[in-house]
Chains A and B, each alone.
Chain A
């Protein structure tokens, strides 16, 4: 080693990152080495093949207790009544919860339903999903296409569009609440331009618009990133060949870009559908479901019916969540189908 190439001060004082990595490594090695004797003892008894079950066990236990078991219990909750949490205290009521939820003279008229709050949430959610997914897919597609073009500082722009994805829903909601409030930035800009002050979060239509806007703002970068990866996976020689043939640009777009991006695009559509059905956090903090029930969506309905309202109607909430689960299940199966086909073809 040439001592001149590595001044002694460099090796003597490691950077903070190096020290962190070293400490992490020591902790990891120490912990894992300490666990070696017990695992070796187990291996002696059950053999190498048996160790597979030992490795799977922690995951499977946690999984069964906190995910699989609740899935089954959810059905039991939906079939029982009363506001008690403990299973043995809940009387069996059959399909009463479902029939109460589905008791409507006209499904398009919320006021004709027995559980009008549920149906209001369903209507809101359907409208929200339709608007949000359309806007999300359109905007993230345009962004991905632009970021895929020849650009200066592409890394910077990609980071800019992606940045809100990392923010927590509560932070996102508070950032926009601060801008949209009565004396907020948006009203200031509006009035500086000669407009009237608008109560953005106290007007039903505006409030709905902002829930769509804010959730698109927060998650668009994620879908744009997936689409960008899809665009970059399209072989460049296809474009070169088309160019040599003198194919018009719009034709290149419709004949090469669109068909080859289609699987990715479908995944994005379904992923954003799945997420939009579950929209809760940002909206709950931004509008609280209000004004009135104008921005109350289905997950908030489940949460409030089960936990936040004075009487905890767990059966009703469980029945509603089963209905949501069915919708999500169909969407997920579709998504897995498409990703699978996309990978095999």
Chain B
């Protein structure tokens, strides 16, 4: 009941009531739960491989300090070593012999190594950002290829979706012709047939057209989306017919009417559909999973999910790749937040 009171309370209350505390408490928990996991991913993705294996984990990417000595090929880990004098110094571990380590002073690499028991030394920790986590996948796992494939699919699909659906919506909203209503009902009726229900025959069609393992096999099937036609048609109905008639009087062809008058005026609806299309295609998973089986044609989502099976022990790469997949969406969202939320709220689409 207190919740309800919070939600229906009058606007002139000034002081914080219990209900306000509950409201902000809920919101605070919400922020932690909704944002926290992504933040944790971001922080983890910058940790080195060894830092990721620490338990319990630290929030910031802390790693063992390492030092590169001129005469050694690999960087050496640095430990805090207690010295005979009673003080301690930061020394680099050169070699381990059983329980004892041989340490050298980075300042005097030529001097005799110091011996110390490994259970008496402490690793020196510092903030280390493992940017390599980001660079390596691009070089080693053809991640750049997946990125390119995803960009291609997303951009081409969105352009084609906007073109094909707006043409159809134009005809359905601005012409009266035989079979128009039947077509509209036909399109709407397939709203209830998501791709997950026609996987097998859709795969047959794509196979028969020789489009398996081709990005076009991913792009084409979902282009003619009933939601897109519906959204654009409803919007175009509000464009006055007088505009079209006037253009025709001036000798404009139908195609010209379409691209010069209808398209610019339908911009708000096109923008909403465009944003949805980008989201749908960038995040698409099940359909590419079935159409694409060769690694060079994988999209980002497929590449990522395949790696999570193969690289189960290589979380440092996996997390960075996840971040790179997530980043474009976050950027688009920050730029277009208002459009996206009002678009969804006004159409009820996702």
Interface residues of A (CB under 8 A from B): 28, 32, 35-36, 39-40, 43, 48-49, 51-53, 55-56, 58-60, 62-63, 65-74, 76-77, 85-87, 142-143, 145-146, 148-151, 157-171, 173-179, 183, 185, 188, 191-192, 217, 221-222, 225-226, 228-229, 239, 243, 249-250, 252-253, 257, 267, 271, 278, 280-281, 284-285, 299, 302-303, 306-307, 314, 317-318, 321-322, 324-325, 328-329, 331-333, 336, 339
Contact = CB atoms under 8 A, between A and B. Distances in A.
Given A35-B255, A71-B198, A257-B8, A171 B344 contact: no
B251 to A, nearest CB: 11
B337 interface: yes
Given A73-B201, A183-B53, A185-B57, 6 more contacts: A55-B258, A66-B220, A66-B222, A146-B27, A178-B41, A332-B192
A176 B319 CA distance: 11
Contacts of A174: 41, 304, 308, 318-319, 322
Interface string B6-31: 11111100000000000100110011
A222 B198 contact: no
Contacts of B26: 142-143, 146
A314 B187 contact: no
A42 to B, nearest CB: 9
A317 to B, nearest CB: 6
A298 B319 CA distance: 29
Nearest to B221: A66
A40 B253 contact: yes
B154 to A, nearest CB: 11
Interface stretch (B71-79, B98-106, B119-127, B203-211): B203-211
A225 B341 contact: yes
Given A66-B221, A328-B192, A43 B199 contact: no
Contacts of B350: 165, 222
B138 interface: no
Given A160-B31, A161-B30, A178-B319, A169 B5 contact: no
B286 A69 contact: no
Contact of A171 (B4, B186, B326): B326
A278 B31 CA distance: 28
B41 A146 contact: no
Interface stretch (B60-68, B109-117, B170-178): B170-178
Contacts of A149: 6-7, 9, 23
A35 B3 CA distance: 59
A59 B165 contact: yes
A48 B350 CA distance: 35
B84 interface: no
Nearest to A305: B200
A183 B57 contact: yes
Interface stretch (B32-40, B87-95, B129-137): B32-40
Contacts of A179: 37, 40
Nearest to A56: B171
B27 A65 contact: no
Contacts of A307: 199, 203, 290
B97 interface: no
A280 B196 CA distance: 9
Given A174-B308, A174-B322, A324 B197 contact: yes
Interface string B248-264: 10000111101110000
Interface SS of chain A? helix
Contact of A250 (B1, B168, B204): B1
The 7 A-B residue pairs with the shortest CB-CB distance, nearest first, are: A73-B201, A332-B192, A59-B168, A39-B255, A70-B201, A168-B283, A229-B345
Nearest to A282: B285
Contacts of A257: 7-8
A270 to B, nearest CB: 11
A87 B207 CA distance: 12
A330 to B, nearest CB: 9
A178 B286 CA distance: 22
Given A85-B207, A149-B6, A52 B30 contact: no
A149 B7 CA distance: 5
A188 B20 CA distance: 32
Interface residues of B, number: 101
Contacts, number: 303
Interface string B182-202: 010011001111101111111
A192 B56 contact: yes
A229 B34 CA distance: 21
A52 B258 CA distance: 11
A171 B322 contact: yes
B278 to A, nearest CB: 10
Contacts of B187: 59, 63
Contacts of A51: 171, 175, 254-255
B42 to A, nearest CB: 10
A331 B175 CA distance: 32
A79 to B, nearest CB: 12
Contacts of B255: 32, 35-36, 39-40, 43, 51
A35 B259 CA distance: 10
Contact of A249 (B5, B192, B205, B305): B5
B286 A49 contact: no
Contacts of B333: 159, 163, 166
B240 interface: no
Contacts of B237: none
A317 B196 CA distance: 11
B224 interface: yes
Contacts of A159: 333, 337, 341
Nearest to A189: B56
Contacts of B165: 59
B83 interface: no
Given A222-B344, A222-B350, A303 B199 contact: yes
Nearest to B53: A183
B5 A250 contact: yes
